[in-house]
Amino acid sequence: MLNISHNTLNKKVDLSEYKAIKKVFHRRHYKYFNQFLLVFALIAVIIMFLPWTQNISGAGSVTTLKPDQRPQTIQSPIPGRIEQWYVKEGDFVRKGDTILHISEVKNEYFDPNLVERTGQQIKAKSMSVTSYQEKVKALEVQAGALANERGLKLQQAKNKLMQSRLKVQSDSIDLEAAKTNITIAQRQYDRTVQLESEGLKALTDVEEKRLKLQETQAKLISQENKLLASKNDVINAEVEISRINAEYTDKISKARSDKFTAQSSQFDAEAQVTKLENAYTNYEIRNKLYYILAPQNGFINKAIRSGVGETFKEGDRLVNIMPSDYDLAVETFVKPIDLPLIHIGEKVRIQFDGWPAIIFSGWPNVSYGTYGGKVVAIETFISDNGKYRVLIAPDKEDYEWPKDIRVGSGANSLALLEDVPIWFELWRKLNGFPPNYYQPAGQTAKAEKK
């Protein structure tokens, strides 16, 4: 009763006379209840000072530790059409086993003898290269022979020029001798004429000297003609040298031009041979791609392309395969506010979907059905779900993970942090504070050492 009325019934009516009041308000019950409250308070106070492990929870799934151990899809690097399946879903295949056979859909590769025909083209072009090489060698020999012939011709012309010059010198000497002879003959004639006028010489002597003088004059004129002819021979020899130079320079230049043309054709043929060899190698490799092989040991999970005769493009997914040998791991996602608290090597407790577990998040030692793990990788960029991805590997110091776990099944993780009293953890959560920020002992030591 609130006792807000001025009529105090509790003073006028004696409640102790009623049986119900006697049963409820018995002094024995007060004693037991007070003892219970005291024991409960003591236990609550003791519990408040018990250690509690701070933790960060996360949800994720089972994956593999290495990227090459995860489920993968097999694509075809070339477009094609499915011709035959050699496996069915659920089959185990080894590395290199044939999964399916495809055929060509592009018309430029329809020829079944494409590789052989390309090889024949390579041989023909190779022979063309050899022919051009021989032609280049022949033109080199021809240019060398022309150069040698030009040297000999020039030497011959130079010798003739030298002979002409010597003949000019000889004719010049003979001309001087003729001039001397005519001077002598003129003096002799004049002397004989004088002596004949004095009666000391006969007329026949005068006529003889006149004849000799005329002969000497004729020889002088003849010698002048010879000298002019010799000088003309020198000019002709010099012209011949120039002609030989011009003629053989033209011939050698033409031979070298033909040689360079042959070399150009040779290089072009070599380029075509290289291109054909590249095409030949590509055709050989393409023929091997008609059989889709297993990249590693594993199980065929799902045939993405089914049936026979179905066409696909290059890069299209054909079949899904799960490797048979793998190391399990768990990928979990944590909030950005909790990311600074996660470190490499951090111990984590994991609860797998499908395995019964009793979890006390603050007391990992008394939890049942959880397994130990260690953080091995922390993603440095946020995921599409707004959280950061953390990769957890099995803890070798703890119990082994169940062997029947399948990749892709769900998993919940608890990253264990500092040990604090329960009252502190309750106070932290009531105030919305994050867990204590800390650094592992190893990292602290490294930081101090630096």
Could you tell me the CATH number of the domain that includes residue 366?
A: 2.40.30.170
User: Which range marks the domain in which residue 392 is found?
Assistant: 52-69+326-449
- Is there a domain that residue 189 lies in? yes
Same domain as 246, residue 143: yes
DSSP string, 229-250: HHHHHHHHHHHHHHHHHHHHHH
Which token pair is 187? 């003096």
43 with 59, same domain?
no
| Contact of 350 with 412, CB cutoff 8 Å | yes
Pair (280, 146) in one structural domain: yes
Say if residue 221's pLDDT is above 70: yes
What six digits make up the tokens of 444?
């602290």
pLDDT tens column, 166-177: 888 888 888 888
Structural domain contains residue 109: no
- What was the pLDDT predicted at 445? 33
* CA distance linking residue 340 with residue 437, whole number of Å: 8
254 assigned to some structural domain: yes
Do 34 and 78 belong to one domain?
A: no
93 and 146 part of one domain: no
Which one has a higher pLDDT value, 42 or 3?
Answer: 42
Please check whether residues 279 and 302 belong to one and the same domain. Answer: no
pLDDT at 220 over 70: yes
Looking at the fold, whether 31 and 91 belong to one and the same domain comes out as no
Yes or no: say if 416 and 364 are a contact pair by the CB < 8 Å rule: yes
Q: Describe the crossing of helices 203-288 and 114-197 by its angle, rounded to 10 degrees.
A: 170
pLDDT per residue as tens digits for the range 246-299: 988 898 999 999 989 999 998 999 999 999 999 999 989 988 889 999 999 999
- What is the rounded distance in angstroms from the CA atom of residue 330 to the CA atom of residue 370? 13
Could you tell me if 308 and 280 lie in one domain?
no
Cβ-proximal residues to 240 (8 Å cutoff; 6+ apart), any chain: 157, 160, 161
CB-count burial class (<10 Å; 0-12, 13-18, 19+) for 409 = middle
Per the CB < 8 A criterion, the answer to whether 444 and 87 are in contact is: no
For residues 444 and 450, give the distance between their C-alpha atoms in angstroms, rounded to a whole number. Answer: 10
Q: What is the DSSP string of 321-335?
A: EEESS--EEEEEEE-
Same domain, 65 and 76: no
**Is 239 a member of any domain?**
yes
DSSP state of 90: T
Higher pLDDT, 280 or 52: 280
Q: Does the structure show a pLDDT above 50 at 152?
A: yes
Q: Can you tell me the distance from the alpha carbon of 321 to that of 92, in angstroms, rounded to the nearest whole number? A: 9
CB 91 within 8 A of CB 97: no
C-alpha 207/C-alpha 362 separation (Å) is 163
The pLDDT tens digits for 176-213 are 888 888 888 888 878 888 877 777 777 777 778 788 87
CB 248 within 8 A of CB 196: no
Tokens of 169: 């010198």
Neighbours of 109 (CB within 10 A): 15
- Which of 3, 7, 26 has the alpha carbon at shortest distance from 16? 26
Look at residue 316 and tell me whether its pLDDT is greater than 80: yes
Q: Could you tell me the CATH number of the domain that includes residue 144?
A: 1.10.287.620
pLDDT-derived band at 357 (thresholds 50, 70, 90) equals low
What proportion of the chain, given as a percentage, has pLDDT over 70?
Answer: 84
- 3-class secondary-structure state, position 361: coil
Please answer whether residues 297 and 325 qualify as being in contact, where contact means their C-beta atoms are separated by less than 8 angstroms: yes
Model pLDDT, residue 102: 92
Q: Which of 301, 406, 308 is nearest to 91 (CA)?
A: 301
Q: What is the mean pLDDT of the chain?
A: 82
What's the one-letter identity of residue 293? L
Do 204 and 341 belong to one domain? no
Angstrom distance (rounded) from CA 59 to CA 415: 11
> How is residue 177 written in tokens?
């001798």
Q: Which helix (H) or strand (E) holds 275?
A: helix 203-288
User: DSSP character for 15?
Assistant: G
Q: Which residues neighbour 273 within 8 Å (Cβ) at sequence distance 6 or greater?
A: 122, 125, 126, 129
Same domain, 276 and 129: yes
Q: Residue 104: count other Cβ atoms within 10 Å of its Cβ.
A: 19
Domain check: are 84 and 125 in the same one? no
pTM: 0.58
Q: What domain count does the chain have? A: 4
User: Does 174 reside within a domain?
Assistant: yes
Residue ending a domain, among 302, 323, 344, is 323
Q: Which residues of 66-95 are buried (b: 16+ CB within 10 A; e: fewer)?
A: eeebebbebebebebebeebebeeeeebee
